[in-house]
């Protein structure tokens, strides 16, 4: 966004010189770099690459293209290394930084510690949903009335309760790889197919039994299907 703002300001004549730390910091790929440089030159903006002074002149498109291509290749290789490292951490069972019911010590990638007070609230949520027949919104209102807050200190919402009920970490399953960046030159994350998820069993993290969890999933999916079939919210005695 800021890069596009800079290009827009250049077209308006807001500045005459652009200082760039390094070619690799200028754009994500060679094509974008070259197009941006041409646009800036058309609007009489000089570009100074600080780390490449004496080597690179923007008037030399050949040299600039070569160095941009080298920077692009390094960026691709770095992206591959980062993705490989993340996948290895996922196979080891890397846990989330913030998840209700647990505490995490900074720097510990693979372990969570059960927060007993929050864990009891999680168990209550499942019991209220399955045994008492309360909907997610009703449960959220009940917890808010008790003065309870989420891990981030916010009020409970229908979506927050739904996420609790769907989270398999409460039956000792750590899931990574639900989303990934599909394009090398984009930060946009997309949902991955369930077959691509990396699931690691960690029984020490279990807060609810499988039977209770499965009943909650069936009820949640049933209410979701009913809502989308009828277009009406599923009501109950609460």
Distance CA 176, CA 174 (A): 7
Residue 59 in this model has a pLDDT that exceeds 60: no
Percent of the chain with pLDDT over 90: 40
**Token pair listed for 213:** 């969890």
Give the global pTM. Answer: 0.59
Distance CA 9, CA 23 (A): 20
Residue 236 in this model has a pLDDT that exceeds 70: no
Q: What is the pLDDT of residues 101-150, one digit of tens each?
A: 999 988 888 889 999 999 999 999 999 999 999 999 999 999 999 999 99
Q: What is the pLDDT of residues 160-174, one digit of tens each?
A: 999 999 999 999 999
**52, 20 contact by CB (below 8 A):** no
Higher-scoring residue by pLDDT: 6, 186: 6
What are phi and psi for residue 97, nearest 5 degrees?
-75, -40
């Amino acid at each position: 966004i800021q890069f596009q703002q800079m290009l827009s300001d250049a077209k308006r004549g807001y500045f005459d010189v652009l200082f760039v730390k390094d070619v690799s910091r200028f754009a994500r790929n060679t094509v974008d770099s070259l197009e941006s440089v041409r646009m800036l030159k058309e609007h009489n903006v000089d570009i100074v690459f600080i780390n490449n002074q004496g080597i690179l002149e923007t008037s030399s498109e050949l040299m600039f293209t070569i160095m941009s291509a080298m920077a692009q290749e390094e960026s691709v290789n770095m992206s591959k290394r980062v993705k490989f490292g993340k996948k290895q951490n996922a196979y080891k069972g890397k846990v989330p930084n913030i998840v209700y019911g647990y505490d995490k010590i900074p720097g510990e990638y693979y372990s969570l510690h059960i927060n007993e007070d929050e864990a009891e609230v999680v168990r209550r949520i499942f019991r209220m949903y399955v045994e008492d027949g309360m909907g997610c919104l009703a449960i959220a209102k009940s917890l808010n009335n008790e003065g309870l807050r989420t891990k981030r200190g916010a009020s409970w919402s229908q979506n927050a309760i739904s996420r609790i009920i769907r989270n398999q970490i409460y039956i000792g399953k750590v899931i990574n790889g639900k989303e990934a960046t599909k394009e090398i030159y984009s930060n946009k994350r997309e949902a991955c197919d369930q077959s691509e998820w990396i699931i690691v069993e960690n029984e020490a993290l279990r807060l609810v039994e499988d039977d209770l969890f499965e009943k909650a999933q069936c009820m949640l999916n049933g209410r979701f299907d009913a809502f989308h079939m009828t277009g009406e919210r599923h009501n109950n005695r609460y």
